[in-house]
Amino acid sequence: MVELLKEKFPGYQLVLSPERDKRPRVRQSVKCPFCPGHETLTPDTRARFPETDKWQIRSFENKYPVFPSTGKKPLGYQEVVVETPDHEQRPEGYAEDHFFALLRFVRQRMETISREGRGCHYITWFKNEGHLAGATISHAHSQIVRLNFLPETLAKAYRRVRFATDRESGCPLCEKSHAENALLEDKHYKLIVNPAGRLPFEMQIIPAVHVSHFEKTDERGLEHLAGVLRKAIGALTRAKPGVHYNIVLQNGLYHKNWNFHWHIAIIPRLAQFAGLELATGLHIMPMAPQESFAVLKKHLMR
Ligand SMILES: [Zn+2]
Ligand SMILES: [Zn+2]
């Protein structure tokens, strides 16, 4: 039983999903459901790359979804993407062509999942690396989530971008990518330290071209993205070995044709939100973005 609840003050929505607490916590490989040979411990395979038992990447429906895909009013769908057959492999060790294969896999699954079920409002991809980032199974994986409704906070944020892009000052993502010093830049992407990041070393990968949806990225664009993502994770994990982090795709909406500029945020979990944040809604950033920039730039060069 899943319920969408609203807290009127200070104003947020939450999904009450008690089943989630039954998720197994797996750190060892002995009974890891994501390891090859243990496929029967997960729901059926939805896709594999390559399409053999010796897969490198495999996906299946999340066994403990926040958003159930069946029932009277499906809230959405969640799919787990196991990124490597190797239980011990961490993303900073992926080769560039493995990142490329992963991004192609994610793009293809997002295209398929967005068409399934009724009423896709939003579809995106995210990764939790380490338990401080929300991972309960240590085997490297990420998730694709489709929402059949539009959360209020997202609606407000996307409305702001749409108005700015259509009527006022122009797209805030285009503006940001032009204004900020790049950690890395090619003709497809710019990697920057988010000048208004809420945590130290927070980065963004912003496409040079203003496009709403990640799924529209062509092969060449994905190749370049694989290179930028690999370098960004490499620099972060060299600067802060063992760091836990999230990778979040901010994608365009489906149910309204609102103008957007997709991008990726890399958010290291190097601090906790505390009482002041909860009391005032103000995030306290303990480190100047210029300092994050200098450290990351140094580690990018290595
Ligand atoms: Zn495993
Ligand atoms: Zn833009």
Each domain of the chain, given as residue ranges in start order, spans 3-301
Say which ligand is closest to the CA of 89: 1
Structure tokens at 152: 């209020």
Residue list, CB under 5 A from ion ligand 1: 29, 32, 34-35, 87, 139
Q: According to the CATH classification, is domain 3-301 in 3.30.70.1380?
A: no
Q: How far is the CA of 208 from the centre of ligand 1 (A)?
A: 37
Q: What is the pLDDT of residue 72?
A: 67
Q: What is the mean pLDDT of residues 71-80?
A: 83
Q: How far is the CA of 220 from the centre of ligand 2 (A)?
A: 20
Q: What is the pLDDT of residue 33?
A: 95
Q: What is the pLDDT of residue 28?
A: 60
Structure tokens at 26: 């797996």
Q: How far is the CA of 223 from the centre of ligand 2 (A)?
A: 21
Tens digits of residue pLDDT in 167-198: 767 999 999 999 889 999 999 999 999 999 99
How high is the mean pLDDT of the chain? Answer: 91
Sheet-wide strand order for 245-250: 45-49, 57-61, 76-82, 141-147, 122-129, 245-250, 263-268, 203-207, 189-193, 184-185
Q: What is the pLDDT of residue 29?
A: 58
Say which ligand is closest to the CA of 28: 1
Q: Is the peptide bond before 10 cis (omega within 30 degrees of 0)?
A: yes
Tens digits of residue pLDDT in 11-60: 788 888 777 777 776 666 568 999 999 999 999 999 999 999 999 999 99
Distance of alpha carbon 140 from alpha carbon 84, whole angstroms: 7
What is the bridge-based pairing of β-strands 263-268 and 245-250?
antiparallel
Q: How far is the CA of 15 from the centre of ligand 1 (A)?
A: 29
Say which ligand is closest to the CA of 86: 1
Q: What is the pLDDT of residue 143?
A: 97
Distance of alpha carbon 55 from alpha carbon 83, whole angstroms: 10
- In order of 82, 184, 185, 197, the CA distances from 296 in angstroms are 28, 10, 14, 14
Q: What is the mean pLDDT of residues 286-298?
A: 95
Portion of the chain with pLDDT greater than 90, in percent: 69
Inform me whether the pLDDT recorded for 218 exceeds 80: yes
Q: How far is the CA of 80 from the centre of ligand 2 (A)?
A: 30
